[in-house]
Amino acid sequence: MLPVVLASARIGGVYSSRDEQGFARVVVFLASQNVYMGAREEYGLRGVPSRFGQTYPLALARLVVAKRRYPSRLAGVRVYRGLPDSARQPETNAANLRRTEIHEARGGGLVVVVTRPLRYPRGWPSVPAEEKGIDVALAVDFVTMASSCAYDVGVLMSTDSDLLPALESVAALGGRPHPRCEVAAWTRAGVGARRLRPHGAHVWCHWPDRDDFETVRDDTDYNVGAP
């Protein structure tokens, strides 16, 4: 995925801020667990089976890009999530891999899923496993791809403040006009929603709401096989 995007960023040896048709190349970065938990929290899904709150990455990214006010083209969707251990959690590991395979296969060549092994504390399974290094992987890619002009606009969907330094680094590049950074976060009517706010920079936020969620939700139970 990355070499293709990087190659398309150069025209005649000079970095182009837009594609040949004048559209900004947008790459959407999804912090998968944060996006999932955010949907469950905002839309009253915490008490229902765990498959509810999932989304199709390509559909979600397309929705976000469609909300931009300027000519834009979705150039990539990068999904970051932890990978359960195959020995400790064989069924969950298999479901995770199945989900990745399906999302990439249905991603139109745009979806790339990046995983890192979960960390299992001494008290597991009483103490749940944790994602380790996945935010770092996202942050590194977000900044590296901006510095390489691999995108014109990078949209980061997460409310995790650990990612603020990455946003601030891209914002500091100046964005004249590109590369630029934007964020996205779930919202619902009448309720103030959380979003990332980089210090010292105005970064546009896209606000998918409950109706938007309904159009991109993925209720598949990957524990029982592909739909």
pLDDT for residue 84:
97
> Beta-strand (E) ranges in the chain?
10-11, 14-15, 24-31, 72-83, 111-117, 153-157, 180-184, 205-206
Q: Are strands 72-83 and 24-31 parallel, antiparallel or unpaired?
A: parallel
Structure tokens at 224: 């029982």
Between CA 89 and CA 17, with CA 108 as vertex, the angle to 5 degrees is 115
60: left (phi over 0), alpha (psi -120 to 50) or beta: alpha
What are the sequence ranges of the domains in the chain? Answer: 2-9+23-224
- Answer yes or no: are the C-beta atoms of 184 and 39 closer than 8 Å: no
CA pair distance 199, 196, nearest whole angstrom: 10
- Answer yes or no: are the C-beta atoms of 18 and 152 closer than 8 Å: yes
Better-scored residue on pLDDT, 200 or 75: 75
Residue 225 pLDDT class (50, 70, 90 cuts): low
For 118-132, 181-195, 200-214, which range has the lowest pLDDT when averaged over its residues? 181-195
Summarize pLDDT for 114-162 with one digit per residue, the tens: 999 999 999 999 999 999 999 999 999 999 999 999 999 999 999 999 9
CA pair distance 208, 60, nearest whole angstrom: 9
Question: Does the pLDDT of residue 60 top 90, yes or no?
Answer: yes
2-9+23-224 belongs to CATH 3.30.1450.10: no
Nearest to 34 by CA among 128, 137, 161: 161
Residue 192 pLDDT class (50, 70, 90 cuts): low
Instruction: Please state, as a whole number, how many other Cβ atoms lie within 10 Å of the Cβ of residue 125.
Output: 10
Average pLDDT, the chain: 89
Nearest to 28 by CA among 70, 69, 73: 73
Mean pLDDT of 99-114: 96
Question: Does the pLDDT of residue 30 top 70, yes or no?
Answer: yes
